[in-house]
Structure 1
Amino acid sequence: MRALLVCLALLFSGCLAALPDNDDLPVEKACLISAGQAVPITVEVARTPAERSRGLMDRERLAPNAGMLFVYNNQRRADHGFWMYRTLIPLDIAYLDRDGTIGAIRPMVPCPSDQGRDCPTYEAGVPFYRALEMNLGYFESQGIGVGDRLSLNASDCR
């Protein structure tokens, strides 16, 4: 029995090792822009399928003005969405068009299930090219909403 437990532990750790480590993602200064203000943020940028798949899984916290930006080469359909499998932090997700304009914002809560298939999907409801995850309530607390935009040009926050 002990040998079986050791084998399972090694197998499980090997599966985790196969997931990309998103601590090495590029970090960029960005700016959320509304009619009345510009809010500086820092984003980790996930561009590859493996980076996007890993996302913010297993993280216990996210800095107050930090988030993760998911970038796609091709437009995603409105029924495409994100899930919170193995994500421990309650998040907001903003779905952005090619120009960075916010088309929809959805709150997302951690999924307690150990099976991904049991976790809900938070569909965009609009076609999108990028998605920005921030701490739950961040967009509302900063007065950022649908129609506002994300700029990856940090100088837009001056």
Structure 2
Amino acid sequence: MNRRSLALSLRVIASLTALLFSGCLAAFPDNDPLPVQQACLITTEGAIPVTLEMAKSPQQRSRGLMEREYLAPDAGMLFVYRDQRRADHGFWMYRTLIPLDIAYLDHDGIIRAIRQMPPCPQAQGRDCPTYPAGVPFYRALEMNHGFFESRGIEEGDRLSLEPSDCR
């Protein structure tokens, strides 16, 4: 093989390797940080401030809080849907390491249901239970286990994304 053929072969191999590698990167989940928003939960006792990561795209919602080892005490993730989800739509805890509580919210941010979700240690997602809302919803709010109960937050309370409500 002459030098020109060898150089051409190496360029082709390098190009194919780069193409293959870029395809592999596309298979990894999106780990970019999500937008964060200050919000509050409005109860009869007042406003409880929270810091929320906003999961709006299908990829962001699919990733959720998977593989997190820690969630700050007043932090959570808000799953936002454009269209109403059915009552049988639920969440699961596959590859989620911390216990969570989830509040299902209507279009106005009113909490319609709260569920507890322990981590699922199973190796396969199909072996993890789902936690259906039991009510139609537009948003779902995941917080650390015990967050809602310890602060007296219950069905009928409201999540507000308006800073003026959170004073």
Do the structures match in fold with TM over 0.5?
yes
Which residue among 117, 123, 133 is the counterpart of 1:108? 117
Equivalent residue number for residue 144 of structure 1: 153
1:67 match: secondary structure: strand
Aligned residues: 145
Instruction: Check if 1:72 corresponds to 2:71.
Output: no
Question: Partners of 1:140 and 1:57 in 2: how far apart?
Answer: 23
Q: Deviations along 1:24-58, whole A, 9 cap, x unmatched?
A: 21000001001121100000000000000000000
- Aligned AA for 1:26? P
Greater C-alpha radius of gyration = 2
Instruction: Check if 1:20 corresponds to 2:30.
Output: yes
Unpaired runs of at least 5, structure 1? 1-10
Instruction: Check if 1:129 corresponds to 2:138.
Output: yes
- Aligned AA for 1:39? I
- Aligned AA for 2:30? P
The runs of 4+ residues in structure 1 deviating greater than 6 Å are none
Unpaired runs of at least 5, structure 2? 1-20
Q: How do 1:41-120 residues align onto structure 2 when only pairs under 5 Å count?
A: 41-120=50-129
TM-score normalised by the chain length of structure 1: 0.88
Identity %: 70
- Aligned AA for 1:134? M
CA RMSD of aligned residues (A): 1.5
- Aligned AA for 1:24? P
Q: Deviations along 1:82-129, whole A, 9 cap, x unmatched?
A: 000000010000000000000000000000001000000000000000
- Aligned AA for 1:56? L
